[in-house]
Structures are given as C-alpha cells and as structure tokens.
Amino acid sequence: MRTTLPLLVITVAGGAPALQAQVDYNARVGVTWASTLVQDIVINQVEVRQKLAPTLVLGAALPIAPRYRAGLELALATSGYQRTETAGETVDLGTVRTGTITLGLDGPVSGGLRWRGGLGLLRYWPAEEQGVFLQGGTTRFLAGAGIDYRRPILAQWDMMASLRYDFHRFTTAELEDRGFSQSQGVHRVGVTVGLARGRR
Amino acid sequence: MRAFRFFPLLGLVGATPLLSCADIGAPSRTIAYEWRRIVATAAGPDTLAFHWPESRLPVRIWAEDVLNLPVHVQQGLAKWEAAFLYGELQAELVSDSSVADIIVSSGIAPKGGFSITRLESSMAPECQGATDIELDAAGQQIIPPIRVYVDPRFAPSTPGLDMCMALTTTHELGHSLGIFAHSPNAEDIMFADPAVTDLSERDRATAELAYHTVPTLTVAPR
C-alpha cells in the first residue's frame, strides 16, 4: 500500500508513460447522504446532521493483477448542516465541506459491474469555526465499499455510475472538550455519474 | 501478487479505529445552576424563564462608546456565543440604538422595571453593573430594549477598572440573554460577585439549558 500511492501519483502526473497507458481515470458528480453527526440531550434530544451534499469525485486506478486494480479516489462535498430537536425545530448551522481520500481495490462482478473497497481519511472543513466546530475541523479514518457500472460510449470513454457506502466515527476537539464520550458512527451513501477513460 | 495478499490484513488494521459499537455520549449538564427568576405573586411563586427566540436572532446590541464598552460587549458576546454547540445564540453590535434589543451604557441603573442588579463587589470594587428588564402589564412579555448598565466607580485610569468593566459586562450580558439568576459558585461568571473573566463549565451548561427550555416570557417586537 505504501508503494501504490506514490506510484499512482507519479503515474497520474505523467512520470511513467508505460504505466500511464494502463491507468484508468474517472471524474464523477453526484450527491452524498450522511447520517447523524452528533446526538445530544439538552432537555430535548438534539441531532446534528448534514444536508444532501453535492459531490465531485476524481479517481485513478492501476492494474495490480489480471482482474484487479488499486485505485485512489478523491471526493469533495459541500453542504449545509443543521440541528433538529425532538420538539420539531430545525435550525441551519452553516456550511461544512468534506474531503475524502481513499485507497482501494476493485475487481469484476459481472458485465460492466465492478466492486470496490477501500480505506482512507475524511476531513471536515467548516465554513465558520463555531458550535461543534468551534476549534476547527477534524480528520477521521474511513472505510468504504461500493459498486461501479461502466458502459462504453466512445472509443476510449465510458459512462460510469457509482454507488458508494462508507463509515467513519465523528467527533471534534470541541465536543471532546465539552465532555462528549466516544464518537458518533456516521454512515454515508453516495451516488455519482460521470466519465471514465482507460483500459476496460 | 504477493503484496496483494496483504491487503486484507492492512484493511483490518486500518479499520480497527472504526470498530466501536457505542455512539457518542452526551455530557451531563446536571452541574447547571438555577437560572430562572422566581417571583412572588398573589397566587404564589411564579417562575420566569426566557431566551431569545430563533426568530429574533441575531440579537442586536448597542453599546455606548465610552470606557471601552463596545470592545467589552464584543468580547462578552463572543464568550456567550461560544457556550453554545448548536447555534442557539447569535448576536451582533449595531450602530443605531433605536433598533437594538439590548442597550449597554455606562452609569448607574435608574430604579424601575424588574431589575437584576449585580451585588456590590468586594473582590472587584472598581465597578458595578445592573440589567433592567421591563415587562408588560400582564408580566408575560418583555418590552425591548433590555438595558444593561455598567458603572465605573472610579476614574478610568484606576488600576483594575478595565478588567472589572469587562467581566461585569459579560455578567450583565448573561442576564440580558436569559440567565435571570445568580450562580452560587464563585468560579462562575454569573456568581453575584464575579471575579472570573471567562465562562465556566457550569455557566455554559446553564446557558444551554436556558436555551432549550420553553420560555414563560415572550419578547415584544422592537
């Protein structure tokens, strides 16, 4: 894994023509849904969660075996986040951007379908340092899996649709300072479509 | 291919920090002190609770431009806003006092209204403060603006005066934002005779409870 990441970066940058010819690139756009970030009880139950987030995904993959590839995927998403109380009140709290980098494997399922699994890091960047992000954003480990579907549309170009699920545990320095224990398991599901270019 | 065999192991190691079944645990806020004002009525004691409603945010505050008051108000507001995790309070300084929800000025509070008066300080004798809240005839609605007074007892150059003005302003802002009672703990900014400059964990917990409790008082349009 240590060698795969630098290799991909160098290849994508155009450093090794022979490898570059084998690299598969894709760019997709879509939306990401996320489960609750924070649960609290202040008289009533309070939940903080992100809204549906427009998402841009860039990916590159390199063959490591006849049927398998190792790939790097970068996803950027931005959305509002809000608090909801059991009393029914929903209040917008601002905007938060997330950046995800995952290193993964993919392999064939059947036809144009391929599975993907990976590990990575997720960074939260709040637009304003306030509330749960009073001390700034946070970086979390992440594990994910998904499925890709590709269909040729031109000589070297495929239409690509992806479904992704990932999981991380959320907390922030401010929440820890305020006495929150543990962290919140956050599930995210993303759907994207785009174009892919490379080996089939 | 040999390296490929290690991927499941690496995956397991990488995923270990994620493998915890428990959800985030909320802190206990039982340390909060009583923030509501209990008043005697003909029918018995009445509990007055208030917080600025979402529809009135940001709360508009005007500060008289003397004795560094605008700076003290700005810093005091920042402390109170930071007490909240979920955007319950936002406030801003305004230049036009005629639109302000809260007016902060120097001087001694005149008599009238229901006044939450800071007790005279023995630890910081350089200044004193008071907050006046006017209620309607039925005693159920606040008539804005809420008036905060911070009074220097000595000349502006007196040592310790600026710090006294700062902590007193923060304390009185706490009253104007809905903490109508004093803390029994000397380490809290809302202690009747405050000596600290920052909000304590108890102050923060109390403010949070105040803003998630159904208020008994409403606020009239400005």
Residue A77 has a pLDDT of 98
CATH classification at residue A83: 2.40.128.100
Q: Which residues contact A104 (CB under 8 A, 6 or more apart)?
A: A70, A71, A72, A73, A116, A117, A118, A119, A120, A144
Mean pLDDT of chain B: 86
DSSP label at B158? S
pLDDT at residue B83 is higher than 90: yes
Residue B28 has a pLDDT of 87
In whole angstroms, what separates CA A174 from the centre of its chain? Answer: 23
- Cα–Cα distance, A198 to B215 (Å, whole number): 63
Residue at A11 is within a domain:
no
Residue B120 has a pLDDT of 47
Residue A164 has a pLDDT of 96
Query: Rounded to a whole number, what is the distance in Å from the CA of B183 to chain A's nearest CA?
Result: 19
Provide the b/e sequence for A122-148 (b: ≥16 CB within 10 Å).
bebebeeebbbbbeebbebbbbbebeb
* Nearest Cα residue in chain A from B213: A43
Sorted by where each starts, the structural domains of chain B and their CATH numbers stand as 33-219 (3.40.390.10)
Which residues on chain B are in Cβ contact (under 8 Å) with A134? 82, 85
Question: Which residue is associated with the tokens 């040729």?
Answer: A152
pLDDT at residue B1 is higher than 50: no
Residue at A39 is within a domain:
yes
The residue type at A16: A
| B31 neighbors A179 (Cβ within 8 angstroms) | no
pLDDT mean over B168-177: 95
Q: How many CB atoms lie within 10 A of CB B22?
A: 11
The tokens for B63 are 């500060």
- Cα–Cα distance, A148 to B222 (Å, whole number): 57
Q: What is the pTM of this model?
A: 0.85
Query: Rounded to a whole number, what is the distance in Å from the CA of A116 to chain B's nearest CA?
Result: 13
Give the orientation angle of helix B161-177 with respect to helix B201-210, to 10 degrees.
30
Q: Which helix (H) or strand (E) holds A2?
A: none
The residue type at A116: R
Q: pLDDT digit string (tens) for B122-153?
A: 456 788 888 999 888 888 899 999 999 998 88
- Cα–Cα distance, B188 to B171 (Å, whole number): 9
**3-state class percentages of chain A: helix first, strand second, coil last, to nearest 5:** 10, 65, 25
Query: Rounded to a whole number, what is the distance in Å from the CA of B159 to chain A's nearest CA?
Result: 33
| A75 neighbors A190 (Cβ within 8 angstroms) | yes
Residue B81 has a pLDDT of 97
| Partner A, chain B 34-73, Cβ-Cβ below 8 Å | 54
Give the ipTM of the model, two decimals please: 0.83
Query: Rounded to a whole number, what is the distance in Å from the CA of B210 to chain A's nearest CA?
Result: 9
Query: Rounded to a whole number, what is the distance in Å from the CA of A153 to chain B's nearest CA?
Result: 32
| Partner A, chain B 149-168, Cβ-Cβ below 8 Å | none
CB–CB contact A143 B4 (8 Å):
no
The residue type at A51: K
CB–CB contact B213 A68 (8 Å):
no
pLDDT at residue B189 is higher than 90: yes
| A90 neighbors A84 (Cβ within 8 angstroms) | yes
pLDDT at residue B14 is higher than 70: no
β-strands A44-50, A69-85 pairing: antiparallel
Residue at A163 is within a domain:
yes
* Nearest Cα residue in chain B from A175: B85
Question: Which residue is associated with the tokens 């600026």?
Answer: B162
pLDDT grade for B119, boundaries at 50, 70 and 90 = very low
Q: Which domain holds residue A90?
A: 25-197
pLDDT mean over A19-44: 91
| A75 neighbors A49 (Cβ within 8 angstroms) | no
Number of structural domains (chain A) is 1
The residue type at A158: D
Residue at A17 is within a domain:
no
CA torsion, ordered A102, A108, A114, A117, to nearest 10 deg:
-30
Nearest to B47 by CA among B57, B60, B38: B38
| DSSP alpha helix (H) spans, chain A | 4-12, 17-20, 173-177
Q: How many CB atoms lie within 10 A of CB B168?
A: 27
pLDDT mean over B160-186: 93
| DSSP alpha helix (H) spans, chain B | 7-15, 69-82, 161-177, 201-210
Q: How far is CA A34 from CA A183, B5, B34, in A?
A: 15, 32, 37
CB–CB contact A39 B24 (8 Å):
yes
Residue at A97 is within a domain:
yes
pLDDT grade for A17, boundaries at 50, 70 and 90 = low
pLDDT grade for B114, boundaries at 50, 70 and 90 = low
Q: Which helix (H) or strand (E) holds A69?
A: strand A69-85
- Cα–Cα distance, B132 to B175 (Å, whole number): 9
- Select the more confidently predicted residue: B134 or B119: B134
CB–CB contact A142 B4 (8 Å):
no
| % of chain B with per-residue pLDDT over 70 | 84
B209 touches chain A (CB under 8 A): yes
DSSP label at A100? E
Residue A68 has a pLDDT of 93
Residue at A150 is within a domain:
yes
Residue at A2 is within a domain:
no
pLDDT at residue B51 is higher than 50: yes
- Select the more confidently predicted residue: B120 or B31: B31
* Nearest Cα residue in chain B from A145: B11
CB–CB contact B15 A178 (8 Å):
no
- Cα–Cα distance, B62 to B98 (Å, whole number): 9
Q: pLDDT digit string (tens) for A125-142?
A: 999 999 999 999 999 999
pLDDT at residue B26 is higher than 60: yes
Q: Using only C-alpha atoms, what is the Rg of chain A?
A: 19
Residue at A137 is within a domain:
yes
pLDDT at residue A27 is higher than 80: yes
| Partner B, chain A 106-125, Cβ-Cβ below 8 Å | 117, 119
